[in-house]
Every structure is written in structure tokens, then in C-alpha cells.
Amino acid sequence: MTLGQKQRAFTNMVAQLIFWAYDHGYELTFGDAYRDPRVFGPVGEKKGYGRSMSNHKIRLAVDLNLFKDGVYMTETKDHEPLGEYWESLGGAWGGRFNDGNHYSVEYEGRR
């Protein structure tokens, strides 16, 4: 699968996750999605913002802010139902590596 094909599949998966979340009583806002390497390249890395090979920089990751009954849910365990659904779609959930609001797909060994 080319990078472009994977990006389009990822976008479709994010749409499915959003609908699933709302169907199960959650609400979402976007956190980080695309991290433009012109902004978050070497300078951003020096400031501690993102890894050099982040999937955010190739449009294959999104961080989602989670709400339930109007309450902002910040713990990884809060994201677990969404993370497990995301994994059922074929995605990689950041809760498996201490980044609970991170949803991505694998590309060249990166999540």
C-alpha cells in the first residue's frame, strides 16, 4: 500500500472511530493531527515537541481529546474502549505505549 493509500484509509478509520465514539456516549475534539515538518521539524524536536519520525508528520496519526457527560477525560484508561475499537479496525492505539489519546496506523515500523 502506498503512503497516499494508507493516508486515505487512515482518514476513513478515524471517521469510523468518531462515529463509534458518539454512538457510545462520548464526544471528541481534535488534538494534534498533522504536524507540519516545516514547523515541527528539527526546531520542534529541540523544544521537545514530537519525535523526528512521528506518524503525525506523515498524516497517519491523530490525538483525540475525549469527553463523557461534558467531562474531559484525560487518563489512558478512559480511552481504552475507543482504543480497543481502533485496534479492531487495524490501528495502533497509543495506550499500549503510554500515549492514551494517540490513534495511528503502522507505517515502516512506526506507530
Cα separations in angstroms, 108 against 1, 3, 67, 79, 84 = 11, 10, 32, 25, 22
What grid cell was written down for 95?
495506550
pLDDT in tens, 17-45: 999 999 999 999 999 888 766 665 565 55
For the chain, domains (ranges, CATH) are 3-104 (3.30.1380.10)
pTM (predicted TM-score): 0.87
Q: Is the dihedral of CA 82, 88, 92, 94 positive or negative?
A: positive
Lowest mean pLDDT among 6-10, 30-34, 49-53: 49-53
